[in-house]
């Protein structure tokens, strides 16, 4: 049975100095699985918009899906591989920082970006309290295969067994 404890990430999250390290796994998770994968629709302003030499008339509905931006090789080296270090010790794996748009960007971006702190705290507390294993019959793929985009991502089921961790 696969045990999350055996992966490097688990050790990294338990590091006492891991404040910076903890950011990597959380941001990389959002990079690979954006909470708002297709993003919302926006309308071009009065006078239209010219992007990369292409004119888009006013009132046109436009959308830039996060999933596409964050999976683009022009923005990330090996964009679909799990590499938390791209957000910590190996920033060269991010070719264009503007390609990381988990909280969207500029005027209409998320007002709740402080949620990153909450996610980091929760993840660290969980892995410091429990050993985590896949439940019998679970292989970790259903949550991705059955994920649905309802503006925010609703993952499929993931069955785990949590046991108290004795340090
Ligand atoms: C992992 C956590 C979160 C992620 C990844 C996230 C992501 C986003 C994204 C991508 C948008 C822009 C949607 C668009 O394209 O229009 C957005 C908007 C927004 N988010 Fe979050 N969000 C998170 C947590 C939160 C929390 C905790 C709050 C509130 C406490 C919050 C409040 C808002 C609000 C109010 C907007 C609308 C902003 C506007 O249109 O002016 N978010 N969020």
Q: What is the CATH number of the domain that holds 15?
A: 1.10.630.10
> Can you give the pLDDT at residue 1?
29
Quick one: CA dihedral 119, 121, 125, 128, positive or negative?
A: positive
Closest residue (by CA) to atom 23 of ligand 1?
112
- Domain hosting 51: range is 4-164
**Alpha helices per DSSP H over 42-109:** 66-70
Q: How many CB atoms lie within 10 A of CB 155?
A: 13
Number of domains in the chain: 1
Closest residue (by CA) to atom 41 of ligand 1?
108
Give yes or no for residue 52 CB within 6 A of ligand 1. no
pLDDT for 55-65, tens place per residue? 999 999 999 89
pTM higher than the cut 0.85: no
Closest residue (by CA) to atom 29 of ligand 1?
112
> Can you give the pLDDT at residue 39?
73
pLDDT for 94-142, tens place per residue? 999 999 999 988 888 899 888 888 888 888 888 888 999 999 999 999 9
């Amino acid at each position: 049975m696969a045990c999350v404890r055996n992966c490097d990430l688990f050790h990294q999250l338990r590091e006492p100095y891991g404040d910076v390290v903890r950011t990597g796994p959380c941001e990389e998770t959002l990079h690979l699985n954006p909470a708002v994968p297709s993003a919302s629709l926006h309308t071009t302003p009065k006078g239209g918009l010219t992007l990369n030499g292409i004119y888009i008339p006013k009132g046109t509905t436009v959308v830039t899906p996060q999933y596409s931006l964050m999976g683009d090789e022009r923005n990330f080296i090996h964009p679909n591989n799990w590499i938390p270090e791209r957000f910590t010790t190996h920033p060269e794996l991010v070719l264009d920082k503007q390609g990381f748009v988990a909280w969207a960007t500029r005027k209409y971006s998320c007002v709740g970006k402080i949620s990153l702190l909450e996610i980091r705290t929760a993840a660290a507390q969980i892995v410091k309290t429990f050993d985590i294993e896949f439940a019998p019959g679970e292989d970790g793929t259903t949550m991705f295969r059955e994920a649905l985009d309802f503006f925010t991502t609703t993952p499929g089921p993931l069955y785990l067994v949590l046991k108290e961790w004795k340090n």
